[in-house]
Amino acid sequence: MKIKSRFKQILLNLLNREIPLFISIFLTISFLISFVIVQPVNSIVSDTVRKNTSFFASDNVSLEDTQMISELSTYESASILGVNTINKTGKITFDLISTDVRTKVLEEYFVSIRSPLVGQASIFIEMADKYKLDKWGLLPAIAMIETNGCRTENQRGYGIRNCWGWRRNGKDIRFSTWEDSIGNITKSLSKYNTDPFSIQPSYCPPCEASGNDLWAKGVVSELRKINEIGKKYGVPEFKTR
């Protein structure tokens, strides 16, 4: 019994000495992990989320894959939306979400012309890529000339999701969704020469007949404005002719 009691006393003494040391080590390691790993990630998160407002594709990548951010194409930037998981190996993973900078360019353009098309920019880019329309600013530019950026009255334009004056049987076509209108018109224009001066005979026969080229010159002017905005984001210019 005395031996058992002595053993218990020794064990308690050891625990009393080692537990505070163990807690101290644990707290120090926890602090270092928080400061060295989590803190920089949180900083990146808050900074990139402020810079990006609209998103497309999402990929789960690891912390060591952050070099992907600098390797994205010219048209893309990246956001990190928070630490997602810490797996069994201690490897931190998070969601990397890319946004097409051309969307930002068009959104800024729509704001500058006070167009109600703000919020629809991603559809223009999606459809331009889908139908291989390199001049991705063409439809927004035409919308400005045809319906003052879709700000026309009496439900023509924005009310029927037709900012481009497209008609059938003498009446403006009413589209059910923006994807429908932007998609159909982009698909149609992508089949032809997208030089505004080549489109003009169909879009504005009087302008073509008079020789003043007001319609084509107006579209080119708007395309140049979009290109100017794009320069701020490092987006390569598209041809205006």
Residue-level pLDDT at 177:
95
pTM: 0.61
Domains in the chain: boundaries = 2-100, 102-232
Share of the chain above pLDDT 90, in %: 47
Q: What is the pLDDT of residues 16-74, one digit of tens each?
A: 555 555 555 555 566 555 544 444 444 433 333 333 333 333 333 333 333 333 333 33
User: Residue written as tokens 């912390």?
Assistant: 63
161 confidence band (pLDDT: 50, 70, 90): very high
128 confidence band (pLDDT: 50, 70, 90): very high
Is 23 or 166 the better-scoring residue by pLDDT? Answer: 166
